[in-house]
Amino acid sequence: MEFRKAYLAALLAVTVVAGCSTSPSSKTRVYETPVVAAPDGLTETPPALTAARSQLASMDADERIASTLSWASSYLNEKQAADASQLLSDLNPEKLNSEQRFAWLLLSGRAQLSQQQTEKTLSLLQQHQEEILQYPAEQQAQLDLLRADALAMKGELLSSLQQRIAAHPLLGDEDQDYNHNMTWQLLMQMPNTELDEAIDSSSGDLRGWLTLAQLYRDPIADLDAQITRLNQWSNQWRSHPAIDNVPQMLDALEKAASQRPSQVAILLPTSGPLKNAGAALQEGIMTAFYQQQKSGHTPTLRFYDSGSDDVLAVYQQAITDGADFILGPLSKDNVATIASQGTLPVTTMALNYIETDNRPDNFFQFGLAPEDEARQIANHAARNGALQAGVLYPEGEWAARVANAFANRWQELGGSVTITRTYQEGPSIGETVKEMLLVSQSQQRGNAVSRFTSLKMDNQPRRRQDMDFLFLLADPNQGRQVKPALNFHYAKNLPVYSTSLIYSGEEDPRRDQDLNGIRFVDMPWILTDDNQALHEAANEQWPDGHGRYERLFAMGIDTYRLQGRLYLLNALSSSELPGVTGRLHMKNQRIVRELNWAVFSSGKAKTLPQTTEAAQNIPRAITSQ
């Protein structure tokens, strides 16, 4: 995890650690002169909290304060946020001078946020609010940014935006870069209805940000209309903080408009084992197509059956018929066949993922890869400070592939997998869970100790303690067996994360009570009704929905959207598309989805507040040069 070098660098790295009298560079400068004098010969940060406390106990007051602040900063940089919090709690803020109290307050807040303790951070700031109001404006702005981060992590996106925009003019250059990026990320996550309501009640720079996000986020709008609106925005908001970014956005949109296809060939199976999946995708594509027809330019669409054995012949026929953009094919084998052809005659976006290092420059991939969901869960758990994971998945090649995707990403992030188990659906699940949790061993150890001591022992069985959470791969029926077994075997409070496989997409409170507490990722189309016009159009045409193919129907909507904006995502690395299957961005010619989070509560899937990854990469302000 990469942490931002920012406003405490000067205080902690220069004045606290070095005791130097020179000013830090203008990029990271917070204070003109040293504010905390560090003792000569300050030792390196002890790797363990116990060692740090032992050394601090032998220091005089000034040395102990300086060392505590410096070492807490180092612990945050090393992702030891809990140690940083405990070290800072040993200081009495009433014994600190103003600059030391500012450092203590900012470090304490960052340490709490890195442990997802948003309420503690907000309470800390509120508790010291009167004192904060006496700080110089620059320091107040930095603490406002801390508050904004806490609000973003809590899911209060509009409140976070208000704090950020108010503090922005007083921040240093690097803090402004971070704040600018966070503002845009929050705007990309804000639900459409909330965005519209916020515009009506806002003014000043906030209104400028909100209207810019609204016009950028409209993926159904005609590109020419978006360009016109963006030019109008630029004329209206000439002094807005985002104005410097608009030319790059305009340039990308103009090039996307100039390169948009006029005839799109769509290769989907209308025969063979994937025909139902192909039908759901086609219906999603046409739903989005009809919606865009209402607002502007649409390409000609031609559908081809890719269910035959000779996908190359189908592909060539589409080219012969005049296609200048191809969507599909769907099956992995067909995707691999197209990708192996070298340079392709037209831009092609396959509707599945394959692993290949030799892809053509104009070959892109989009799909609903469960491996991506598994990797997102690993990212989330790491940001929450977890270190040890358990993995439980059903027997089979497909499940093993998803479990491996999670484990590989988790280990890349520095985590460890302490236990991996497979299960078979049926009565044996309970025994598998019990064995995985080492409950029998805890009972045996307790009985053994009781036989050889006269002490009264607590023989209550316990689960293993070397597991911060469980990555569970299960469908609803499997999950309804696994979670009760976890609860029964003393793991009721063990966090359980799962992919969208765990949710059928349809409310079933009576049966899904057994899934209570499981957190999972899923697409906005399933969890929210924020895309109201599309939902209404879909419900009108297909009132019974698409059952288990509903997610593929949603993929069809985003598939159509992407054909007009693929250039934008590819050319502008910071761009993303708020799609119905997730927030979409491009990485190595591959569309990557970031999904929403939900939790089962009272048998229903309850959407959790949406927070950005950047908002959770919290001890960014504490590192030194």
Label residues 343-373 b or e (16+ Cβ within 10 Å = b). ebebbbbbbbbbeeeebbebbbbbbbbbbbb
Rounded CA gap, 572 and 593, in Å? 17
Find the helix or strand (DSSP H, E) in which 155 lies: none
Q: Do 562 and 349 touch, CB atoms closer than 8 A?
A: yes
Residue 610: the pLDDT is 66
**Average pLDDT of 563-567?**
89
pLDDT digit string, tens, across residues 187-199: 988 888 889 899 9
Residue 450: the pLDDT is 44
- Residue of higher predicted confidence among 615 and 378: 378
Find the helix or strand (DSSP H, E) in which 91 lies: none
Q: Is residue 612 scored above 70 in pLDDT?
A: no
301 in helix, strand or coil?
strand
Residue 204, Ramachandran bin (φ over 0: left; ψ between -120 and 50: alpha; else beta): left
Q: Tokens 């250059």 — which residue?
A: 173
Rounded CA gap, 135 and 133, in Å? 6
- Residue of higher predicted confidence among 581 and 215: 581
Q: 251-258: long-range contacts (C-beta < 8 A, 24 or more apart)?
A: 252/567, 252/568, 252/571, 252/572, 252/575, 253/223, 253/226, 253/227, 253/568, 254/227, 255/567, 255/571, 256/223, 256/564, 256/565, 256/567, 256/568, 256/571, 257/223, 257/224, 257/227
> Which of 113, 133, 114 has the alpha carbon at shortest distance from 123?
113
pLDDT digit string, tens, across residues 387-398: 999 999 999 999
Q: Peptide bond preceding 269: is omega within 30 degrees of 0, i.e. cis?
A: no
Find the helix or strand (DSSP H, E) in which 120 lies: helix 118-127
Residue 222: the pLDDT is 76
Domains of the chain: 9-189 (1.25.40), 263-368+530-595 (3.40.50.2300), 371-523+600-616 (3.40.50.2300)
Residue 41: the pLDDT is 54
Going from the C-alpha of 45 to that of each of 17, 20, 39, 153, 552, the distances in angstroms are 11, 19, 14, 29, 52
Confidence grade of residue 615 (pLDDT, cut at 50, 70, 90): very low
Task: Average the pLDDT over each of 145-159, 207-221, 342-356 and give the range with the smallest value.
Answer: 207-221
pLDDT-above-90 percentage for the chain: 60
> Residue 538: CB partners within 8 Å, gap ≥ 6?
287, 545, 553
Q: What is the DSSP string of 485-552?
A: HHHHTT-TTS-EEE-GGG--SS--HHHHGGGTT-EEEE-HHHH---SHHHHHHHHHH-TT--GGGHHH
Mean pLDDT of the chain: 85
Q: Do 430 and 488 touch, CB atoms closer than 8 A?
A: yes
Q: What is the DSSP string of 540-608?
A: HH-TT--GGGHHHHHHHHHHHHHHHHHHHHHH-TT--EE-SSSEEEEETTEEEEE-EEEEEETTEEEEP
> Which of 296, 154, 174 has the alpha carbon at shortest distance from 224?
296
Confidence grade of residue 146 (pLDDT, cut at 50, 70, 90): very high
**Average pLDDT of 227-252?**
89
Beta-bridge mates of residue 423: 394
**Average pLDDT of 133-137?**
92
Token pair recorded at residue 276: 């139902």
Task: Average the pLDDT over each of 103-117, 391-405, 439-453 and give the range with the smallest value.
Answer: 439-453
Q: Output the furthest CA–CA distance in the chain (Å, rounded).
A: 88
Q: Is residue 17 scored above 80 in pLDDT?
A: no
- Report field, pTM of the whole predicted structure over 0.85: no
Pairing status of strand 519-522 against strand 469-472: unpaired
**Average pLDDT of 454-475?**
78
Residue 458: the pLDDT is 47
Residue 462: the pLDDT is 72
